[in-house]
Amino acid sequence: MRTTSILSAITCVALLTACGDDAVGTASDTDSTSSTTGTTDDTTTTTSAGTSTTTTSGGTDSDSDSTTTTTTTGETTAVETTGTTTTTTGPDCVDPEVECGGVCVNPQNDPLNCGGCGLPCDDGLLCSMGECVPDCMGETPDLCDGICTDVQADPMNCGGCGMACGADEACEAGACVPLCAEGELYCDMVCVDPQIDPMNCGDCGVACNADEACEAGACVPLCGEGELYCAEECIDPQTDELHCGGCDMPCAADQVCLGGGCVTPKILVIGASGIVSKLQSSGYTVTSVGWAQAVANLDVNEYPVAFVGRYATNWANITDPIKTALDDYNKAGGAIVTEWDGVSLFLSGFHNTYRYPNGAQSMSWFKGEIGAGHNRGNNTPITQTLPNDALFANVNNPFMAGGATEFFFTFYNTDDAELELMATFPGNGTANFPNGDLATIYRGRRCGANVILASWDYQDDGNNAGFGDLIPNFVTAALAPPSGNVNDVCP
């Protein structure tokens, strides 16, 4: 380090020279040019670019020698010793920097000179406050007490090093908050479940609309009690075959959803019918009862599908308890299939051409009337209007009505928003069967269950070509999910 200015060294040299030249009076004194014995002074000056060196030697034999060397390279530093002054070169470092190997460095953050010259940090460490510490990055960007952490989430260093949360607290966004249960979030000073909270649905502050609910962390339309929002619609997981017990939990093709579980259905047949053996041969368990036993057996948990047989002129004998039982059965999710004049029970009235004006009073589930009809003739073609529907699997298109199946009734004044057309037959231009394609199979939806109305006598199918699996297919079609083409008319 430089301790004396170069001016001092030059002054000393000048004084020594002056003493030799100006001494007064003795024979022993001489000046610097004398060749006699006495004091001899030698001065040599060498100058090069940017550097000057001056060396002075003098004295007698009894004098001690004195040598002064001055070297200047930019700035100089003078160091004094007994009889000698030395000036050396070096960098001009500013605190807190120090000189290490001729270079100014900061030992507080220099990884090669951490805490002092020649003290390098190992690979993977950096120099902080004069100490080698880990290089914190990624999910733990903060260094606390020599350990990488995240002060936004670390309960021991929450918001800053050494700022510990309580035992019943967690660290969220750099603040200590009450410790919530697993899966919960701390939102607006309270623990919430983001899977179901409509004010914090999926995350804090994400609010659903007034007509929405929060399900699985997403805002969905508000469904009725017991319903779920699946595949962009509200469904009943107790009865829906595609979402049986929960969303996206479908039943097999020959199963039905009852009580949230998939089961193979049992079929109830009410009234005389020729379809029992056909259903049994297709693998279904069938219970066939008369009208007197209908009320006791209309249990949707036992029979998810009920076939209501034709009643012809005896419709007037149907009792109010039977109507109530059918209504309750359907409202509980029971599907109904009926044929020929049986459809009159479920429409809003009778057309003035109806063959049996003394028939049963309609329950008016669907808009429409039934009238006219009777014998259309043998080999009447029935053409499918929904060829991809389950009702027509393994069935000819068209298939031919023959034998008893040639008996038809005609629909009037139906509402397409309530009844979906599934098949037609051709009229013949008579009063009973006007020209054109006449409806013969409709499907409606009521209280979550399908109701299929077939206006022809389907019971005698055994000898008719092309029927194939039509009768057992009625079960599949009755239990199928709603097509979305009609409105549910549940009161």
The predicted-structure confidence for 270-323, as pLDDT tens digits, reads as follows: 986 778 888 888 888 999 998 889 999 999 989 999 999 876 555 656 788 999
Can you give the pLDDT at residue 89? 53
Can you give the pLDDT at residue 34? 37
**Angle 92-96-101 from CA coordinates, rounded to 5°:** 55
Residues 321 and 383 in one domain: yes
Residues 214 and 302 in one domain: no
Residues 422 and 475 in one domain: yes
Residues 201 and 341 in one domain: no
Range from 82-86, 217-221, 358-362 carrying the lowest mean pLDDT: 82-86
369 with 413: CB under 8 angstroms?
yes
- Could you tell me the residue range of the domain that residue 120 belongs to? 91-125
| Residue whose entry in the numeric block shows the structure tokens 């029927």 | 467
* CATH number of the domain residue 361 falls in: 3.40.50.880
Residues 120 and 74 in one domain: no
Handedness of CA 312, 313, 318, 324 (dihedral sign): positive
Residue 324: its H or E element:
helix 320-331
Tokens representing residue 176 in the block = 């200590």
Residues 77 and 115 in one domain: no
Q: How many CB atoms lie within 10 A of CB 198?
A: 16
Instruction: Give all strands of the β-sheet with 305-308 in edge-to-edge order.
Output: 285-289, 266-270, 305-308, 335-339, 449-454, 437-446, 419-426, 380-384, 399-401
User: Predicted confidence band at 464 (pLDDT cuts at 50, 70, 90)?
Assistant: low
Residues 328 and 473 in one domain: yes
**Angle 387-485-282 from CA coordinates, rounded to 5°:** 45
User: Predicted confidence band at 46 (pLDDT cuts at 50, 70, 90)?
Assistant: very low
User: Predicted confidence band at 341 (pLDDT cuts at 50, 70, 90)?
Assistant: confident
Residue with the larger pLDDT of the pair 488 and 1:
488
470 with 452: CB under 8 angstroms?
no
Residues 210 and 276 in one domain: no
Tokens representing residue 418 in the block = 């309530």
Range from 56-60, 357-361, 451-455, 473-477 carrying the lowest mean pLDDT: 56-60
Residues 208 and 80 in one domain: no
Can you give the pLDDT at residue 346? 92
Span 138-175, pLDDT tens digits: 888 888 988 899 999 999 999 999 999 988 888 989 99
Can you give the pLDDT at residue 451? 97
Residue 175 in 3-state DSSP? strand
Residues 104 and 78 in one domain: no
- In total, how many domains does the chain have? 4
Residues 401 and 281 in one domain: yes
323 — phi, psi (to 5°)? -60, -45
Which region, left, alpha or beta, applies to residue 305 given φ > 0 means left and ψ of -120 to 50 means alpha? beta
Residues 85 and 195 in one domain: no
458 with 391: CB under 8 angstroms?
no
| Residue 336 in this model has a pLDDT that exceeds 90 | yes
Range from 182-186, 243-247, 259-263 carrying the lowest mean pLDDT: 259-263
84 with 12: CB under 8 angstroms?
no
Cα–Cα distance, 475 to 251 (Å, whole number): 14
Check residue 65 and report its DSSP letter. Answer: P
Span 51-80, pLDDT tens digits: 444 444 444 444 444 444 444 444 444 444
Cα–Cα distance, 413 to 408 (Å, whole number): 17
Residue 26 identity (one-letter amino acid): T
